[in-house]
Amino acid sequence: MSLNEFSLIEHYFSAIGQAGGVVSGVGDDAALLDVPAGQHLVVSVDTLVAGVHFPHDAAPDDIARRALRVNLSDLAAMGATPRWFTLALTLPGADTDWLEAFSRALAMDADQFGCALVGGDTTAGPLTLSIQVMGLVPAGRALTRGGARAGDHVFVTGTLGEGAAALQLFEPSVELAAVVSERLRERFYQPVPRLQEGLNLRGIASAALDVSDGLLADLGHIAEQSALGAEVQLSAMPVAPWLKKLADAGTVQDWVLCGGDDYELCFTVPPENLAAIDNMIVRGELIATCIGRMTTTTGIRCIDGNGMSVQVGQTGYRHF
Ligand code: ADP
Ligand code: MG
């Protein structure tokens, strides 16, 4: 490592976020972290590549927020509390304005979500970021994909489709009202990891994941890992009214069912826990909608307003 790289790390990445349990963080060969007795360490990593996961000309603060938040969304889906993260950063050059804006936004989000940067790697090359998040969950209390049972109700938090609709921002031929592009930009670059919801669902949801590849594909993961299927009611999908004005009904349905990047939680609830969910919704602790049921018949079936099974084209975003 050259002195240049060392001072760069020291200047921009040595004091981002705060969290307990850091025995030693940035600056040693590896981070030393204290995992309290009775807690499980929850670890997840996601890579963002310029030109693939965000446009080449995306602003550094936008990139920082999206990279951390999509990772935190995975911790939310496990019912974990964020603690620490590492950052492997590949940079085309040492642009100090870029680094300043990037690290400032990263620090703000790290503070907001209560996690600390404890290490990483810095290399030269095409702009790429890997963030590895680490969180804690009391042993045996994590939300997993495999715990659903037939008859469990399927819920989703928030509203769907905005993540996919946001890709319109990058279509030069599409013109959007300023207020709409502002909203979509926020949805894309500042998705809100549903961390408190994940904590609230511990002991109540039987399975959970975050919707990153598209609702049908992601619900398919819960179904597969629980050796079940699911039936979803198309008329029940939570869609923001303003989103419906952006395109024809078929396109909006594709965004909602097959588009990725929503980072809402999809979770299943056994009948005996439905009252607890309703109470949370009434108390304003959870914004969630019931969209269907888990079934013993495998596969995901979409049911229209007339109770008929309908075919829906795609099955979510796939990299390969
Ligand atoms: P090594 O050669 O042992 O891998 P590095 O030169 O890669 O060490 O990193 C030196 C220290 O700086 C390590 O503690 C590492 O975790 C930290 N570090 C390197 N890059 C980053 C980064 N982008 N963000 C946070 N910490 C970093
Ligand atoms: Mg290294």
Per-residue pLDDT of the chain (320 residues; tens, 9 = 90+): 454 778 899 999 999 999 999 999 999 999 999 999 999 999 999 999 999 999 999 999 999 999 999 999 999 999 999 999 999 999 999 899 999 999 999 999 999 999 999 999 999 999 999 999 999 999 999 999 999 999 999 999 999 999 999 998 988 898 999 999 999 999 999 999 999 999 999 999 999 999 999 999 999 999 999 999 999 999 999 999 999 999 999 999 999 999 989 999 999 999 999 999 999 999 999 999 999 999 999 999 999 999 999 988 654 454 45
Is the whole-model pTM more than 0.85? yes
Domain boundaries 5-138, corresponding CATH code: 3.30.1330.10
Q: Is the CB of 1 under 6 A from ligand 1?
A: yes
How far is ligand 2, taken at its centre, from the CA of residue 121, in Å? 5
Residues of the chain with CATH 3.30.1330.10: 5-138
Ligand 1 atom 6, closest CA: 1
Residues of the chain with CATH 3.90.650.10: 153-310
CB atoms within 10 A of CB 89: 20
Walk across the sheet containing 207-210 and list its strands.
207-210, 265-269, 153-157, 288-295, 229-233, 299-303, 309-310
Burial class (CB in 10 A: 0-12, 13-18, 19+), 304: exposed
Domain boundaries 153-310, corresponding CATH code: 3.90.650.10
Identify the CA nearest to 157 among candidates 225, 227, 218.
Answer: 218
Ligand 1 atom 8, closest CA: 29
